[in-house]
Amino acid sequence: MLDITPRVEQIIEESRLHNGVVNVSGRGSTLGVTTLEYETGCVADLRRALDKIAPANSDYAHNARWGDDNGFAHLRSALMGTAKSFPLCDGKLGLGTWQQIVLCDFDDRAREREVTVTVVGD
């Protein structure tokens, strides 16, 4: 789980837009995008909850069908969602003080990930 807020803010600044909506969208079906107070406690709690909702074992129809090992990752992605949108207000990303945008890579091996940040407005 990675805090991508600084990178999103940089792209907003480069866009030179001041008001509108910012969409943060991960490409793929084994990742998720959400917000979290990004500190080790909350990160651990979210991991544990996901382990309960979609355990990282091999008991998945996706695995049985394709010989994959990442059925749990697909499931977590579908439940959390891969994209979130936030307001842009006077050039600032509209988040709370303790709220960061977090990219969750659920896959069973390290991967390079692509996240698209789109700013719409004026």
Binding mask 53-72 for a second copy (x = CB under 8 A): xx-----xxxxxxx----x-
Parallel/antiparallel/unpaired status of strands 92-93 and 31-36: unpaired
Q: Which of 13, 51, 57, 87 binds a second copy (CB under 8 A)?
A: 87
Q: How far is the CB of 13 from a second copy (least distance, A)?
A: 18
Rounded Cα–Cα distance for residues 84 and 96 (Å)? 15
Residue 10 sits in the site that holds a second copy (CB under 8 A)? no
Contact at 8 Å (CB) between 64 and 2?
A: no
CB of 120: closest distance to a second copy in angstroms? 5
Identify each DSSP E strand in the chain by its residue range. 2-3, 20-26, 31-36, 83-89, 92-93, 100-105, 115-121
Residue 116 in contact with a second copy, rule: CB under 8 A: yes
Residue 36 within binding range of a second copy, rule CB under 8 A: yes
Neighbours of 75 (CB within 10 A): 19
- Using rule CB under 8 A, residue 84 touches a second copy: yes
Contacts for 89 with CB less than 8 Å, ≥ 6 apart: 19
Residue numbers of the site for a second copy (CB under 8 A)?
A: 19-21, 23, 25-29, 34-37, 39-42, 44-46, 48-49, 53-54, 60-66, 71, 74-75, 77-89, 94-100, 102, 114, 116, 118, 120-121
